[in-house]
Amino acid sequence: MDRRSFLQLSAAALASTAAPLAAGESPTTATATPSRAAVKTGGIQLIPVDGKYKVWTKKVGSGKTKVLLLHGGPGCTHEYFECFEDFLPRNEFTFYYYDQLGSYYSDQPDDKGLWTVDRFREEVEQVRNGLGLDRFILYGHSWGGMLGIEYALKYQRHLKGLVISNMTASVKSYMEYMAVLRGRLSPEDQQTLEKYEKEEKYEEADYQAIIFGKLYAQHLCRIVPHPDPVARTFKHLAAPVYNTMQGANEFVVTGTFKDWDRWADLPKIKVPTFLSVGRHDEMNVEDIQRMGIKIPTSRVSVCENGSHLSMYDDQEAYFKGLLRYLRDVESGAFRASA
């Protein structure tokens, strides 16, 4: 039996078992089925975007401070943010998971034209509006940090604060530092990477062993094996989005955001801003500190034991800095770094 036949039979069965109306009772006075809006979903809400797609969101907590989380990738999921539930008290914070269009839990249209920085910025505004958020804190990690910068430059009026986690202000700066990290590999490893990149054979086992076993293990997440939420995020990575916007991997950036650069625009960000970076990150600590100078009201935190996923491999330092920032913004006590 195919799916359509099954659904038709199910509908007929439900109709046949429905309670008959009592004498004199009209359909409008009979006990109504609960409306869709009244059904409890554990905080999950699908937000319409672009007039024809839906993206997945989930509300966690009930506190006064509202935080919308932008995941990295592009094309990752909210899953690696699940550790936030252990550090952000639910009576103090309300935070929102949000899987961007194309990601595992949201609609996944087959249209490469959708995967641009500008369209994703407008998607964030639609999600903000759909969730009814205003005067909230926007948190972005990695690619989400790039997206957060873009959002703040256009829609700053809605923000109470901005968190830019593990992201520099231009792809050029990122690539320059990735070249530094690449130069720390052995000559043999560098030759292997060059060989397969020239042939565009990025899936070869020897190539993948260097990318995952040496680059990612040192600079993406220094906990091996990866914690479960991180492993699920990688398992669910939306390759069409990642490959279109980024490229083949962290070393090969050829996608639609390859020319992104916002260094000159950082002084336009006026809301209290928190910048976090790991000492072993894929991002240059000096770049993040430079961003802290350019953004007038900002504070920089360096996680000395952390990498790109400092929220896992240097949790104490990461969440200590983040929580202090969030509480200072909410109380009006925020002060920029000296």
pLDDT tens digit sequence for 194-235: 999 999 898 899 999 998 899 999 999 999 999 999 999 999
User: Dihedral, CA atoms, 232, 97, 296, 261, nearest 10 degrees?
Assistant: 50
Catalytic residue flag (residue 142): yes
One-letter amino acid for residue 302 of the chain: V
Residue 5 has pLDDT above 60, yes or no: no
Arithmetic mean of pLDDT, 132-157: 98
Catalytic residue flag (residue 226): no
Among residues 99, 189, 281, 287, the one annotated as catalytic is 281
Task: For residue 174, count other CB atoms closer than 10 A to its CB.
Answer: 21
Q: CA-to-CA distance for 190 and 185, rounded, in angstroms?
A: 6
pLDDT digits (tens, 9 = 90+) for 91-121: 999 999 999 999 999 999 999 999 999 999 9
pLDDT for 251 equals: 81
pLDDT for 249 equals: 81
pLDDT digits (tens, 9 = 90+) for 271-299: 999 999 999 999 999 999 999 999 999 99
Q: CA-to-CA distance for 32 and 122, rounded, in angstroms?
A: 38
Give 128's pLDDT tier (boundaries 50, 70, 90).
very high
SS (H, E, C) the chain: CCHHHHHHHHHHHHHHHCCCCCCCCCCCCCCCCCCHHHCCCCCEEEEEECCCEEEEEEEEECCCEEEEEECCCCCCCHHHHHHHHHCCCCCCEEEEEEECCCCCCCCCCCCHHHCCHHHHHHHHHHHHHHHCCCCEEEEEECHHHHHHHHHHHHHHHHEEEEEEECCCCEHHHHHHHHHHHHHCCCHHHHHHHHHHHHHCCCCCHHHHHHHHHHHHHHHCCCCCCCCHHHHHHHHCCCHHHHHHHCCCCCCCCCCCCCCCECHHHHHHCCCCEEEEEECCCCCCHHHHHHHHHHCCCEEEEEECCCCCCHHHHCHHHHHHHHHHHHHHHHHCCCCCCC
Among residues 308, 310, 313, 314, the one annotated as catalytic is 308
Among residues 103, 106, 142, 298, the one annotated as catalytic is 142
Catalytic residue flag (residue 99): no
Both tokens of 165, joined, read 């986690």
One-letter amino acid for residue 246 of the chain: Q
For the chain, what percent of residues have pLDDT higher than 90? 83
Q: CA-to-CA distance for 268 and 266, rounded, in angstroms?
A: 5
Which domains does the chain possess?
41-182+228-331 (3.40.50.1820)
Residues 6+ apart with CB under 8 A from 29: none
What's the pTM?
0.88
Q: CA-to-CA distance for 81 and 105, rounded, in angstroms?
A: 14
| Cα-based distances in Å from 310 to 100, 137, 188 | 22, 20, 29
Mean pLDDT for the chain overall: 90
Beta strands at 93-99 and 53-61: parallel, antiparallel or unpaired: antiparallel
pLDDT for 35 equals: 59
